[in-house]
Amino acid sequence: MVSGVIFGGLLSTCVVAAEAPNAEERNKIEMLLAEAAGKMIYLTKQCDKPVDPEKFKELSKLKAFSEGYQSIEGISWEHVRDEANQKYGELNAEGPDGEFCEQYEKDIQNAYPFLKPM
């Protein structure tokens, strides 16, 4: 990964090699993303506030980085999807009529502060 940093008006380019997370870190990242994705599915289906899955993947990189992970290389999107659908099922069982729309919208805004309000 190449990133540019400005020091005193000069552009300095440095190369940072982000290591792929190990198996334990990948699992933690996947669970972190699945929790947010489950809430986003709930917001989409129960609250009529759709979230684009492709944008979620891009945002996931930023979220993982903000949590201290340098890379999401090697995570299983299928595992994230499956866990997210399971979490959505649990959330939907607890609030089938959209009772948690406001709470989950705030949770997502807190987890992804760079998103525009829904």
Given a cut of 80, is residue 33 above it in pLDDT?
Answer: yes
Given a cut of 60, is residue 10 above it in pLDDT?
Answer: no
- Work out the angle at residue 100's Cα, subtended by the Cα atoms of residues 98 and 102, and round it to the nearest 5 degrees: 105
- The token pair at 28 is 């933690």
| Mean pLDDT across 21-43 | 91
* Closest-CA residue to 40 (of 57, 62, 64): 57
Beta carbons within 8 Å of 45's beta carbon, 6+ residues apart = 88, 92
- The token pair at 102 is 């406001």
What is the value of pTM for the model shown?
Answer: 0.73
- The token pair at 66 is 């903000």
**pLDDT value of residue 13:** 30
User: pLDDT of 36-57, one tens digit each?
Assistant: 889 989 999 999 988 887 888 8
User: Would you kindly state where each structural domain of the chain is located, as residue ranges?
Assistant: 21-111
User: pLDDT of 54-111, one tens digit each?
Assistant: 888 887 888 788 888 888 889 999 999 999 999 999 999 999 999 999 998 888 888 7
Beta carbons within 8 Å of 87's beta carbon, 6+ residues apart = 34, 35, 37, 38, 39, 41
